[in-house]
């Protein structure tokens, strides 16, 4: 396939496929793409006009079927298709293997682009930047030649996580730059660093053909048990608000502005902030990807505070783009928060949450896209990762689409087929008339098209694969990401200044037992015994031994306890299935849990009560590993490396060890740079670390900073914004700005 380019003097360079049938029009000495193939210059083809003018013109020309396709957001797509992020099946259909060894489109992808007019594709894994660029070019050439020539708006979930076992070399590149997880970015307490991340990530996204980021996740993680805590900036509204603003500014504001846009350009990436109006207050800490966690509750009457990162952060940017271009509501039913119709339905179905609050009260006029698969039928049991139509399970699939549209939402995440949207349109025609529904569809079309026009995709959606390879994961980006990893590490304890430990000493690193489990999507993870750190990297710092008697010190690498709040074992034993989520390693009995659940009908409230029920985390062996190592080392230093995806109860082991270094997803090399003293720790806790499970059970799901925090053997309290460096407890401009007093109830 040949891509041709036409340069406008003092204007944009146009890119088009020689096979798409698009011709170039010359008007007033300027060149334009005749995307409609009608031989004349339409307003939407005129790059001299504003994106809003062009979007309105194009929306008026589109059929209902084409607008319905624009409202779709694909299920997860890998490049090639056989490299799927989710093995086996995800949306009920097997992954299409065709095109698996190239940048060719799969049969499924061709089908939804050609037959359903889908123009928003969610990309997961890619084989390489070159393959991603070539796939993008093939896909853009295909759609350029049909209909009105609307380009594809590709998107991605966050993809800049660190690979722990990868070795960092200042002069080497990688598959993509590596950074700490979102919670690790928060641990830097540095909005400028977060903005820099956005600026770098957006360049890498654009080089991969990705023009929308399904991020940042700016829910206030006010319940410490929530499994999605790690994707947030933590529990604090001020810190989250500042980092949300910086993140979106970094992604959206371009150094290379387009000629007719304000702040947007060829380095810009749309930011879809999530999840309105906040999903961090799930009842009992349970998550709404499953039916057992479908309710967000507000026992502290603190609903409004969860809106602040959106209304004061993502919607009030410092940069020229002004506000995040898209918003994703969460799956949850925001229980008893609808003050108009009193409906308890999932947020995307709730007109009060979307239209009254988001659209009218807060004036948001960007794209609103549902979270993935909310219109699918609910499964027969509540612990299957599929179908999230919470509160509207009784409606048909088409009726669910109609309710979402009437609530003010523009787009359907994870839906490849336009049929149900067209059915919903017909329902609206019967109820409101054709003129009303045409206007309603065009309203969403304009919002969706704006996010394509502003990024210059109508001018040139094509990439140079060799250029993509140069940009993605280049040495400079890798170095900046690695430096951010170092800044995200939080030293919690350093008894007798045991750290740093000089290079060349001998270290004992015990293997860690990983119990059999299941991934987020239900796939079996086998049990295993493995070294938790890459020994080849460790050997660059220390001599490694398997004999504790020969070692000068030990490093024990563990993770926080995990749990979802529901087990099949309890259900199969005759229980309700609901169990506590424990943040401690020992077996836990929920004697301090509330006596009665908050949300739902009387049967549901009874079912979800877990008071006096017990749960043992699958990694309870992490505690055993620490205590066994402590005994084996016979008084020699024991350093704990604690990987945190949410808070943990550390009182079970903290007094037994000499140092505790917390991280939020970094390369092993970053840990060793701190332990050896090559770098000094500077991170701060972006959340509280609870003293025990009693305070976890008694805190309110919707209120930040309302737990009793752990106090260690050195007299330090692991509260929000706590961290130490080689000199002691960190007190600087960051702690002065963000440190909070505990909530008193």
Question: How large a percentage of the chain has pLDDT more than 90?
Answer: 90
pLDDT of residue 143: 98
44 CB neighbour count, 10 Å cutoff: 26
At 94, the pLDDT band (50, 70, 90 cuts) reads very low
Please count the residues of the chain: 745
Long-range contacts: 14-18, Cβ < 8 Å, 24+?
A: 14/459, 14/460, 15/459, 15/460, 15/461, 15/462, 16/144, 16/460, 16/462, 17/137, 17/140, 17/141, 17/144, 17/145, 17/462
Asked if the structure places residue 174 within a domain, the reply is no
pLDDT surpassing 60 at residue 451: yes
Mean pLDDT of 80-88: 53
pLDDT tens digits for 726-741?
A: 999 999 999 999 987 6
pLDDT surpassing 50 at residue 89: no
Mean pLDDT of 216-234: 98
The residues near 713 (Cβ < 8 Å, ≥ 6 apart) are 493, 495, 654, 655
Work out how many domains the chain is built from and give that number. 2
* Cα 152–chain centre separation: 21
* CA distances in angstroms from 580 to 285, 583, 616, listed in the order given: 9, 10, 9
Asked if the structure places residue 32 within a domain, the reply is no
At 555, the pLDDT band (50, 70, 90 cuts) reads very high
pLDDT tens digits for 339-362?
A: 999 999 999 999 999 999 999 999
* Range with top average pLDDT, 55-69, 82-96, 371-385: 55-69
pLDDT tens digits for 488-497?
A: 999 999 999 9
pLDDT surpassing 70 at residue 521: no
Token reading at 143:
């759609």
pLDDT surpassing 60 at residue 97: no
Asked if the structure places residue 1 within a domain, the reply is no
pLDDT surpassing 80 at residue 669: yes
Which helix (H) or strand (E) segment is 77 a member of?
A: strand 76-79
pLDDT surpassing 50 at residue 85: no
pLDDT surpassing 60 at residue 101: no
Same-domain status, 540 and 572: no
CA-based R_g, the chain, Å: 26
In the three-class reduction of DSSP (H, G, I as helix; E, B as strand; rest coil), residue 606 is classed as: helix
pLDDT surpassing 90 at residue 523: no
Token reading at 600:
């739902």
Burial (CB < 10 A; 0-12, 13-18, 19+), residue 651, is middle
At 515, the pLDDT band (50, 70, 90 cuts) reads confident
Burial (CB < 10 A; 0-12, 13-18, 19+), residue 88, is exposed
CA 380/CA 36 separation, integer angstroms? 47
In the three-class reduction of DSSP (H, G, I as helix; E, B as strand; rest coil), residue 554 is classed as: strand
Asked if the structure places residue 687 within a domain, the reply is yes
Same-domain status, 554 and 569: no
pLDDT surpassing 80 at residue 47: yes
Same-domain status, 609 and 526: no
Say which residue, 258 or 433, is predicted with more confidence.
433
Say which residue, 49 or 522, is predicted with more confidence.
49
CA 721/CA 135 separation, integer angstroms? 44
Domain containing residue 724: CATH number: 3.40.50.1700
Same-domain status, 610 and 524: no
| Vertex 637 angle, CA 636 and 638, to 5° | 120
* Cα 278–chain centre separation: 13
Same-domain status, 581 and 655: no
pLDDT of residue 93: 37
CA 704/CA 692 separation, integer angstroms? 17
CA 239/CA 421 separation, integer angstroms? 39
Asked if the structure places residue 93 within a domain, the reply is no
Same-domain status, 688 and 583: no
Same-domain status, 660 and 725: yes
Nearest to 152 by CA among 125, 103, 113: 113
Nearest to 647 by CA among 164, 233, 226, 274: 226
DSSP assignment string, 176-216: S--B--HHHHHHTT-HHHHHHHHHHHHHHHHHTT--EE---
pLDDT surpassing 70 at residue 541: yes
Mean pLDDT of 403-422: 97
Mean pLDDT of the residues in the chain: 94
pLDDT of residue 188: 98
In the three-class reduction of DSSP (H, G, I as helix; E, B as strand; rest coil), residue 453 is classed as: helix
pLDDT tens digits for 568-620?
A: 999 999 999 999 999 999 999 999 999 999 998 888 898 899 999 999 999 99
Same-domain status, 580 and 718: no
* CA distances in angstroms from 121 to 163, 174, 567, listed in the order given: 25, 25, 34
pLDDT of residue 460: 98
Nearest to 329 by CA among 226, 241, 412: 412
Mean pLDDT of 108-118: 96
* CA distances in angstroms from 325 to 268, 274, 620, listed in the order given: 11, 12, 43
Asked if the structure places residue 27 within a domain, the reply is no
Asked if the structure places residue 542 within a domain, the reply is yes
In the three-class reduction of DSSP (H, G, I as helix; E, B as strand; rest coil), residue 76 is classed as: strand
Domain that residue 661 falls in: 488-561+638-738
pLDDT of residue 550: 98
pLDDT surpassing 50 at residue 7: yes
pLDDT tens digits for 470-503?
A: 999 999 999 999 999 999 999 999 999 999 999 9
Helices 475-488 and 668-675 cross at an angle (nearest 10°) of: 60
pLDDT surpassing 60 at residue 253: yes
Bridge pairing between strands 517-518 and 524-525:
antiparallel
Same-domain status, 646 and 677: yes
CB burial readout 339-373, b (16+ within 10 A) else e: eeeebbbbbbbbbbbbbbbbbeeeebebbbbbbbb
Backbone dihedral angles phi then psi of residue 524, each to the nearest 5 degrees = -70, 130
pLDDT of residue 487: 98
pLDDT surpassing 80 at residue 152: yes
CA 354/CA 73 separation, integer angstroms? 19
Token reading at 419:
């049929």
Nearest to 245 by CA among 174, 177, 316: 316
At 744, the pLDDT band (50, 70, 90 cuts) reads low
What residues are paired with 26 via a beta bridge?
Answer: 31
Nearest to 351 by CA among 363, 339, 362: 339
Same-domain status, 596 and 511: no
Decide if 128 contacts 469 (C-beta within 8 A): yes
Lowest mean pLDDT among 29-43, 53-67, 362-376, 509-523: 509-523
The answer for 383, left when phi > 0, alpha when psi is -120 to 50, beta otherwise, is: alpha
pLDDT surpassing 60 at residue 96: no
pLDDT of residue 88: 29
DSSP assignment string, 79-131: ESGGG-SSSSBSSSSBPP-TTTTSSPPPHHHHHHHHTS---EEEEEEES-HHH
CA 578/CA 432 separation, integer angstroms? 44
Asked if the structure places residue 695 within a domain, the reply is yes
Same-domain status, 650 and 694: yes
Say which residue, 98 or 636, is predicted with more confidence.
636
Nearest to 654 by CA among 494, 513, 532, 486: 494
Same-domain status, 707 and 658: yes
Bridge pairing between strands 326-329 and 270-276:
parallel
């Amino acid at each position: 396939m040949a891509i041709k380019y036409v340069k406008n003097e003092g204007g944009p360079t146009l890119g088009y496929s020689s096979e798409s049938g698009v011709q170039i029009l010359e008007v007033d000495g300027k060149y334009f793409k005749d995307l409609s193939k009608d031989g004349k210059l339409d307003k939407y083809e005129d790059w001299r006009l504003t994106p809003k003018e062009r979007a309105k013109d194009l929306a008026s020309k589109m059929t209902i079927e084409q607008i319905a396709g624009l409202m779709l957001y694909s299920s997860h797509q890998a490049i090639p298709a056989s490299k799927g992020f989710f093995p086996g099946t995800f949306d009920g259909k097997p992954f299409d293997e065709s095109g698996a060894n190239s940048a060719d489109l799969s049969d499924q992808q061709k089908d939804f682009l050609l037959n359903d007019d889908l123009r928003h594709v969610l990309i997961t894994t890619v084989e390489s930047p070159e393959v991603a660029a070539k796939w993008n070019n093939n896909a853009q050439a295909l759609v350029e030649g049909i209909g009105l020539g609307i380009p594809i708006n590709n998107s991605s979930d966050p993809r800049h996580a660190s690979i722990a076992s990868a070795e960092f070399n200042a002069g080497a590149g990688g598959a993509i730059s590596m950074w700490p997880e979102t919670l690790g970015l928060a641990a830097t307490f540095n909005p400028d660093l977060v903005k820099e991340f956005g600026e770098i990530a957006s360049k890498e996204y654009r080089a991969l053909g990705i023009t929308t980021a399904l991020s940042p996740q700016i829910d206030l993680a006010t319940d410490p048990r929530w499994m999605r805590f790690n994707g947030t900036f933590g529990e604090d509204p001020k810190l989250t608000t500042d980092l949300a603003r910086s993140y979106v500014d970094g992604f959206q504001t371009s150094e290379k502005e387009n000629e007719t846009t304000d702040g947007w350009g060829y380095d810009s990436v749309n930011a879809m902030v999530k999840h309105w109006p906040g999903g961090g207050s799930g009842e009992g800490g349970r998550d709404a990807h499953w039916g057992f966690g479908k309710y967000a509750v507000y026992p502290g009457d603190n609903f409004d505070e969860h809106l602040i990162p959106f209304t004061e952060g993502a919607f009030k940017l410092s940069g020229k783009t002004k506000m995040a271009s898209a918003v994703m509501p969460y799956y949850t039913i925001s229980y008893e928060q609808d003050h108009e119709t009193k409906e308890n339905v999932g947020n995307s179905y709730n007109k009060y949450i979307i239209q009254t609050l988001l659209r009218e009260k807060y004036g948001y006029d960007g794209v609103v896209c549902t979270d993935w698969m909310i219109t699918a039928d609910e499964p027969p049991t509540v612990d299957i990762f599929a179908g999230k139509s919470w509160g509207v399970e009784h409606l048909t699939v088409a009726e669910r689409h109609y309710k979402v549209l009437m609530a003010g939402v523009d787009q359907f995440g994870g839906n490849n087929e336009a049929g149900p949207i067209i059915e919903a349109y017909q329902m609206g025609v019967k109820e409101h008339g054709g003129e009303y529904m045409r206007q309603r569809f065009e309203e969403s079309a304009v919002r969706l098209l704006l996010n394509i026009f502003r990024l210059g995709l109508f001018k040139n959606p094509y990439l140079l694969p060799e250029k993509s390879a140069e940009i993605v994961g280049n040495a400079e980006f890798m170095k900046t990401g690695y430096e951010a990893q170092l800044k995200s590490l939080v030293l919690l304890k350093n008894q007798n200044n045991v750290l740093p430990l000089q290079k060349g000493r001998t270290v004992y690193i015990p293997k860690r037992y990983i119990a059999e489990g299941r991934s987020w999507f239900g796939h079996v993870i086998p049990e295993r015994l493995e070294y938790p750190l890459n020994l080849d990297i460790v050997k660059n710092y220390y001599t490694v031994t398997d004999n504790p008697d020969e070692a000068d010190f030990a490093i024990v690498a563990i993770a926080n306890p995990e749990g979802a709040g529901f087990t099949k074992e309890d259900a199969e034993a005759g229980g309700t299935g609901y169990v506590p989520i424990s943040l401690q390693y020992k077996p836990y009995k929920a004697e301090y849990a509330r006596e009665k659940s908050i949300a739902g009908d009387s049967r549901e409230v009874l079912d979800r009560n877990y008071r006096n029920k017990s749960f043992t985390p699958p990694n309870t062996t992490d505690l055993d590993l620490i205590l066994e190592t402590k005994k084996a080392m016979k008084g020699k230093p024991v350093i704990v490396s604690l990987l945190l995806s949410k808070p943990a109860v550390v009182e079970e082991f903290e007094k037994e060890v000499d140092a505790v270094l917390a991280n939020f997803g970094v390369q092993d090399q970053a840990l060793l740079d701190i332990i050896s003293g090559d770098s000094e720790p500077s991170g701060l806790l972006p959340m509280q670390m609870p003293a025990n499970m009693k305070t976890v059970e008694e805190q309110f799901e919707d209120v930040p900073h309302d737990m009793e925090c752990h106090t260690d053997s050195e007299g330090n309290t692991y509260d929000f914004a706590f961290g130490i460096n080689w000199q002691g407890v960190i007190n600087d401009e960051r702690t002065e700005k963000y440190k909070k007093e505990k909530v008193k109830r």
